[in-house]
Amino acid sequence: MPVDISTVPYENVDTQFNNIYKKILPLFGHEGITTSSELQRIGSRLFGSRLHSDCNRWLGVYAQNCLPLQHFQSGRRYAIVNTDNKRDSSGNLNKGTHWIAVASFKSKIETKVDNSVMIFDSFGRPTKKLLKHLYKSLKNDNIIFKDTEYDAEQKWITENCGQLCMTWLKFFDLYGPEKAKWI
């Protein structure tokens, strides 16, 4: 039986991801629902404060229609985004539904270097169905986007999407987009 060589170097990514999760989890102190302030605090600790923008990689925590895409033009940047827009159709603030992770990087396609983002959803869903506003904005700004593998790291009965997003960003930070796409 032939071996799919495209996955051979990445056969242990799940183990590596789970090991990082075990190290990230104590920063939260729980596996339940996370708040934007928790994610902001831990993201700043892991990837730098937004106050020192010349050396950090952390952009922050956003509703999908508030993500500052212009910051993705400058190399590696990380954010956690809620699938909800900031306000509902009546103008009320949304409480938020589900967290996803976004990482930007420079990608080389043939001889051209482009701005790219990779998007991680712990339920393994495609971006263009899950984040319609963000998908449209990325397309309009000519930012190449890539989803991670469409397999679920999160079970439907759990509420640890924030912890999984922070784990994926740390994995991306350590191993880069070539390995992170397999999570």
**Domains of the chain, CATH where assigned:** 33-180 (3.40.395.10)
For the chain, give the mean pLDDT. Answer: 83
Q: Which residue has the higher pLDDT, 105 or 75?
A: 105
The confidence score (pLDDT) of residue 129 equals 80
User: If residue 36 lies in a helix (H) or strand (E), which one and from where to where?
Assistant: helix 36-47
SS3 (DSSP) at 162: helix
Tokens of 171: 């994995």
Binned at pLDDT 50, 70 and 90, residue 155 comes out as confident
The confidence score (pLDDT) of residue 90 equals 78
Tokens of 93: 């603030």
36-75 per-position pLDDT tens digit: 999 999 999 999 865 455 567 898 999 888 888 777 667 7
Q: Which residue has the higher pLDDT, 81 or 144?
A: 81
Among 179, 180, 162, 151, residue whose Cα is nearest residue 8: 179
SS3 (DSSP) at 87: strand
Phi-psi domain of 124 (left: phi exceeds 0; alpha: psi -120 through 50; beta: other): left
122-144 per-position pLDDT tens digit: 999 888 887 777 777 777 777 77
Contact indicator for 74, 55 with CB cutoff of 8 Å: no
Q: How does strand 112-120 pair with strand 77-82?
A: unpaired
Q: Which residues lie below 8 Å from residue 37, measured CB to CB, with a gap of 6+?
A: none
Binned at pLDDT 50, 70 and 90, residue 4 comes out as very low
pLDDT tops 70 at residue 12 = yes
pTM for the structure as a whole: 0.85
The confidence score (pLDDT) of residue 106 equals 77
The DSSP letter of residue 94 is P
pLDDT tops 50 at residue 6 = no
